[in-house]
Chains A and B, each alone.
Chain A
């Protein structure tokens, strides 16, 4: 059976979500790997700018479900429309960006249509073992290779940054309409709010010292403060540090926090889970200090020191002070 790949896009204010542009590339590559065609799927209300943008990609079609009940995202309305469309048109694969909105409903969609789910893939290969998906496990410390059998469709989401939006193949695609009668919202949307009232703007900092759970004890925060002071840096943190109340929420860096790109980023006791990396991988120079030589953070760092941060950080503070005094 030739592949019929659907790329289900997410959008806001007439623009494609960044991860959806990456999903388009994943979908095009998947169509090439399995032999088949790719189509984009758009759900919403007033989505013409998004549809128009998608018609300039090399796609077999852009399928559009337009309805007032789709103006805000709800899983009920999205799953209703997509499940009906899947039943009618039998795609083999549904490709999503691994965004918070998509993860909210794609698994349930897979279950609803009798398909299967592979979440957060970073790549795939068509080879002797069939189509094999690669994805991280244990926060990126390990990777697994998965194979899916059984009836279509396979619902997959692609990890942020795993595919480059620049590699999209341009072309032209024709718009087709999807039935949106099954769009029944199952949530009432009351509004959107900012997570933390007060706001430390970490994006303006030239140097960021990010502290992770590896600090072990909030009483030890002084060594981080000393290093930041010596460097003239702002302090940022991984999520568990914030969740445990060691620092306020507005210092969180990552997919749910701030995205920073300072000229120097020091990750101290941070393992390097993808949700953290997306918030800092654009930094100029990255230093990682971690006692585990296998920590994923070292893969994106420029300089690494393996060891106990409680020894290394004070030594680093002293070395920075000395260097600054000498210059």
Chain B
């Protein structure tokens, strides 16, 4: 099967975030960026399906220059080529504009399946995959925890996570968009050979015009949701913070838990 995987590059979960001077986003300088967590699981799932069906994986990402590093990593893990929606016109898009751009990039590529993560660790709308599916007019599933390709690629049996420890098992026609939830497989590590091979693999750069899209329908121009500001939440009272070195703090905490909270 020919599989498209969409990935997003996001700040590392350990990153110390700072608000940018214009307050509209974070200051990205000196931050370490990584492939979004659920997207790593998405890529792994796609690679496994491709291996079982003698297929290939093409990886797509929308974002600035730094995104090439994330795409290169996906190539090292086994994707055969990458497409970078790099143009400045794509920047600042809301979920619907970003879904539109990705759909246009994927549309005529002859794909049997699109696999995405379920939600980005930065903005976290949980929307891009299903919007992409809407633009393609394909079925989709959010929070996929299991995939079995059936009937030689005509349908798939998919496990979808529900709340409180239950899963629903469904069948849908392919092509479809599967939005992968973290935890359904064990993402592989890149081998030295994979890293070497990735250097020779293609990362195509595309602009809206390459996709037959007017720049006014993508990115900030094509978006209706505007970020006015970002800020650290005001702390709402919150915890009593216990100071001191580890032994002192531990002693004080135990004291509080016994005498004040009376839970020990």
Contacts and interface: CB of A to CB of B under 8 A. Distances in A.
Interface residues on A, range: 35 or more
A237 to B, nearest CB: 12
B182 A111 contact: no
B250 A318 contact: yes
Contact of B250 (A103, A111, A256, A319): A319
A108 B134 contact: yes
B109 interface: no
Contacts of B16: 292
Interface in A295-312: 296, 298-308, 311-312
Contacts of B257: 264, 285, 287, 303
A245 B182 CA distance: 12
A194 B253 contact: no
Contact of A111 (B19, B96, B251): B96
Contacts of A287: 253, 257
Secondary structure at the B interface, as helix, strand, loop or mixed, is mixed
Contact of A138 (B122, B226, B246): B122
Contacts of B142: 100, 103-104
Contacts of B133: 108
Given A245-B186, A307-B246, A137 B171 contact: no
B216 interface: no
A137 B19 CA distance: 12
Interface string A183-196: 00011111111111
A143 B169 contact: no
A312 B183 contact: no
Interface in A244-280: 245, 249, 255-259, 263-264, 271
Given A107-B95, A108-B134, A111-B134, A189 B168 contact: yes
Interface stretch (A20-28, A116-124, A171-179): A116-124
Contacts of B212: none
B254 interface: yes
Contacts, number: 258
Contacts of B157: 190
Contact of A116 (B123, B225, B246): B225
B75 to A, nearest CB: 24
B166 A194 contact: yes
Given A144-B230, A307-B249, A300 B19 contact: no
Contacts of B169: 189-193
B204 to A, nearest CB: 26
B84 interface: no
A93 to B, nearest CB: 13
Contacts of B236: 299
Interface stretch (B62-70, B124-132, B193-201): B124-132
Contacts of A136: 124, 233
A11 interface: no
A150 B165 contact: no
A132 interface: yes
Interface in B165-181: 165-173
B127 A104 contact: no
Contacts of A302: 239-240, 261
Interface in A97-136: 99-101, 103-105, 107-108, 110-112, 116-120, 129, 132, 136
Nearest to B229: A145
A100 B159 CA distance: 13
Which of B235, B242, B249 counts the most A-chain CB atoms under 10 A from its CB?
A: B249
B139 A111 contact: no
Interface string B219-247: 00000111111111101101111100011
Contact of B232 (A104, A107, A111, A294): A294
A98 to B, nearest CB: 9
A142 B17 contact: yes
Contacts of A319: 247, 250-251, 253-254
A255 to B, nearest CB: 6
A150 B103 CA distance: 22
B256 A108 contact: no
Contact of A285 (B247, B254, B261): B261
B171 A190 contact: yes
A245 B185 CA distance: 10
A153 to B, nearest CB: 11
Interface string B1-45: 000000000010100110100000010000000000100010000
B192 interface: no
Interface in A308-325: 308, 311-312, 314-316, 318-320, 322-323
B189 to A, nearest CB: 13
B4 to A, nearest CB: 18
B170 A188 contact: yes
A104 B242 contact: no
Given A119-B126, A138-B26, 9 more contacts: A104-B141, A120-B126, A142-B17, A143-B233, A145-B229, A187-B172, A190-B157, A191-B169, A303-B253
20 contacts: A105-B130, A111-B96, A117-B95, A138-B121, A142-B233, A145-B229, A148-B225, A193-B159, A213-B13, A239-B183, A256-B161, A256-B163, A256-B165, A258-B164, A285-B257, A299-B235, A303-B257, A303-B261, A320-B254, A320-B264
Smallest CB-CB A-B distances: 6 pairs: A243-B183, A107-B127, A304-B239, A150-B224, A301-B239, A315-B250
